Amino acid sequence: MRITAALEGATLLILLLVAVPLKYLAGLSAATRVVGPVHGLAFVLYIWTLTRAAAGGLFTRGETIRLLVGAFVPFGGIFNERALARRARRLPVNREA
């Protein structure tokens, strides 16, 4: 899930900071035509893994909402990935190792 969070966050940043300026400042609309669907796929994959984890009882309702909101905000993906990394370190199987 950390991988999908990082992928979603990175593609959103590339879309907003690279592809959109290229489209409106340099007239390269191909940039958003390529990055847009890639970000869409990454977003669907992240939401799917979040839904699965929430349905499997891995997150509380509050954690699920926070992880969901993070997917809509620029740089939110980075916070989500860090939060998931902290959460993974707290798991008993990782503490024993």
Which positions touch other proteins (CB under 8 A)?
33, 37, 40-41, 44-45, 47-58
Minimum CB separation of residue 56 from other proteins in Å reads 3
Closest to other proteins by CB, 5 or 50 = 50
Residue number with CB closer to other proteins (21 or 37): 37
DSSP 16-79: IIIIHHHHHHH--THHHHHHHHHHHHHHHHHHHHHHHHHHTT-S-HHHHHHHHHHTTSTTHHHH
User: Which is closer to other proteins, CB of 33 or CB of 82?
Assistant: 33
